[in-house]
Amino acid sequence: MDVVANRVNLLRTLQFAQGVVERKSTVPILGNVLISAEENTLRIRATDLDIEAVLLVEAEVRKQGETTVSAAIFLDILRKLSADYVEIKEVSQSLHILSGSSKFTLLVMPSEQFPKISSDSFDTEFEIEAKSLCRLIDKTRFAMLLDETRFYLNGIFLHVNEDEGGSMLLRAVATDAHRMACVGVPLPQGAEGMPAVIVPRKTVIELRRLLDSLDKNVKVEVASSKIRFSCNNFTLTSKLVDGRFPDYKSVIPAKEGGCLELHARKLLEAVDRVSVLSSDKTRLVKMTIGTAKQNNNIIISVDNPESGSAEEEVEAVYSGEPMDISFNSKYLIDIAAQLGDHTSMIYLRGKNSAALVIDSQDENSVYVIMPMRV
């Protein structure tokens, strides 16, 4: 192998690959990337046995070939080089990296030992705009569970669903049992028969990184145990979470009880300010709603014996019984951040019942948040 590539482009590609590489594996080759020189392209493959990324970089290929090298070391070298171009040359079972006045010789492992995720046929294939895929991810990923004990919540539930008006949607749902995000986009052509799948958290994160600044359609292929996302310069293949996602529709509250209408950005900013004094453990903030003296406005407050108290009034319109209801401030901020810079509705049935949050300008975005009992 003998290849010359732009250092910045190669560095950017290695940074994506490093996110997939398994750093704590007892299998040494999983810390490597597979580098293949083909025609005018350098192909970089990384895997942790559950996810596989294949990334392409334009290059001048003087001699074809392939080998594997430590992803972390290769990336560190590229970061510290200053020249515009890098020559990568395999000589006598080692990899030479030449750039400007710098020369590195790295140990390699045989490419035959590098594992690959099988390319079995996929049942469903369709294309979706990158911005629509980003929207599904951005508006739900904050609610994914981090705790591995309930593995079936460690990702985004992607499935075909019908909205209230009968239109078909591609819907993404994530929940950690304390809050839930449910967002849909018009169903792409060809996705009608897609099986319902749970895309793992790590796959969601790495896919979102790859989608940055992408304005093209993304090809999506789905099977019962795998999913693949691909565009011109990348292919990301992942195993799916082998579990059953809960019946999320049964926990979405009806639009009943008191309806609180307020500006989402003002709510976010008020909660963010008063939560400075909330307990690090509970992050509790209280919403006082519907009392006569407030003229329909709400009071966001914190009363922490260890640090002090804070209170802020937020303009709102409320129809319902007066109540005090408490929420985890982080959960409330995460949801408010998805609602945009306009009025939204929060339906409240009681201080111990789940609240339904609806974006007034996006009927396909629904959020649920559980209150805190005090």
- Write the Ramachandran bin of 57: left for phi over 0, alpha for psi from -120 to 50, otherwise beta: beta
Question: Residue 231 to residues 219, 241, 286, 336: CA-CA distances in angstroms?
Answer: 6, 23, 46, 32
Residues 21, 23, 25: CA angle, nearest 5 degrees? 105
pLDDT, one tens digit per residue, over 230-278 is: 998 999 999 999 999 999 999 999 998 899 999 999 999 999 999 999 9
For residue 131, is pLDDT > 60?
yes
The pLDDT score that the predictor gives to residue 92 is: 84
* pTM across the whole model: 0.92
CA 239, 241, 244, 248 dihedral sign is: negative
Rounded to whole angstroms, how far apart are CA atoms 309 and 176?
29
User: 39 or 203: whose pLDDT is higher?
Assistant: 203
- Sheet of 323-328, strands arranged across: 308-314, 298-304, 284-289, 323-328
Domain ranges (residues) in the chain: 2-113, 124-250, 253-369
Question: Residue 41 to residues 4, 6, 16, 70, 98: CA-CA distances in angstroms?
Answer: 10, 12, 17, 20, 18
pLDDT, one tens digit per residue, over 271-328 is: 999 999 998 888 999 999 977 555 678 999 999 988 899 999 999 999 888 999 999 9
Annotation: CATH topology of 2-113 = DNA Polymerase III; Chain A, domain 2 (3.10.150)
Among 3.40.50.300, 3.10.150.10, 3.30.420.40, 3.30.830.10, name the CATH number for the domain at 253-369: 3.10.150.10
**Rg of the Cα trace of the chain?**
25
Contact 315, 288 (CB under 8 A): no
DSSP-derived secondary structure letter, 123: S
DSSP-derived secondary structure letter, 372: B
CATH, domain range 124-250: 3.10.150.10
Rounded to whole angstroms, how far apart are CA atoms 339 and 332?
11
Residues 219, 220, 222: CA angle, nearest 5 degrees? 150
The reply to whether 2-113 and 253-369 are identical in fold is yes
